[in-house]
Amino acid sequence: MNQQDNNNHLEATQTNVKYPFIITIMHKLIPFSMIWVSLVLMYGVVCMYTNAVGQDEFYRFIFFLRSPFIVGLNCIALFISVFHTIIWFNLFPKMMSSTVFNKKTNTLLVIAGLWAVTLAVSIFLFLFVLK
């Protein structure tokens, strides 16, 4: 890779744009939101396992999820994860080193394709859970 390609790669990942303060805060909260979701899921799996043994831990997990504070934290984590997805889907065509993605229409098609796959997998998982 020559120096020109290396500079183009760096330009795709590093911008000198000054973001609003709330966007900067959301960038900093992404790891914490992912850790929060992982801990909640892990707690749910542990409660399901102990429920199979004969205890009523899963009901404690359900009541834990119904707490207004936890609902608020989960909504914030969902909002931040959607924000994170938007950022990564917009960066994906820029990160590809192929010349195919240099055109604006191809970039939009790649982003739309990523959203279509995400939507299809989400609908499939939603229908799978409802069964």
pLDDT at 16 over 70: no
- Looking at the structure, tell me whether residues 27 and 58 fall in a common domain: yes
Let me know if residue 4 belongs to a domain: no
- Looking at the structure, tell me whether residues 90 and 28 fall in a common domain: yes
pLDDT at 12 over 70: no
Average pLDDT over residues 79-96: 85
H helices then E strands: how many in the chain? 5, 0
- Tell me, rounded to whole angstroms, the distance of Cα 27 from its chain centroid: 12
pTM of the model: 0.68
- Looking at the structure, tell me whether residues 82 and 108 fall in a common domain: no
- Looking at the structure, tell me whether residues 56 and 117 fall in a common domain: no
Split at pLDDT 50, 70, 90, the class of 61 is: confident
- Looking at the structure, tell me whether residues 117 and 91 fall in a common domain: no
CA 49 to each of CA 46, 61, 65, 99, 125: distance values in angstroms, whole numbers, following the listed order: 5, 12, 17, 50, 21
pLDDT at residue 40 in the model: 92
In angstroms, rounded to a whole number, what is the distance separating the alpha carbons of residues 64 and 57?
Answer: 10
Residues 57 and 51 sit within 8 Å (Cβ to Cβ): yes
Query: Residue 10: which of 84, 93, 103, 94 has the closest Cα?
Result: 94
Give the domain range for residue 58: 14-95
- Looking at the structure, tell me whether residues 40 and 83 fall in a common domain: yes
Low-confidence winner among 55-59, 111-115, 121-125 (lowest mean pLDDT):
55-59
Average pLDDT over residues 80-106: 77
- Of residues 32 and 27, more confidence is placed in 32
How many CA atoms lie less than 13 Å away from 126 in the CB half-sphere?
6
Q: Which residue has the tokens 């004969």?
A: 54
The tokens describing 38, both together, are 């992982």
Low-confidence winner among 19-33, 48-62, 79-93, 111-125 (lowest mean pLDDT):
48-62
pLDDT at 126 over 70: yes
- Of residues 105 and 20, more confidence is placed in 20
- Looking at the structure, tell me whether residues 90 and 105 fall in a common domain: no
Type and span of the H or E element at 116: helix 104-130
pLDDT at 104 over 60: yes
- Looking at the structure, tell me whether residues 23 and 83 fall in a common domain: yes
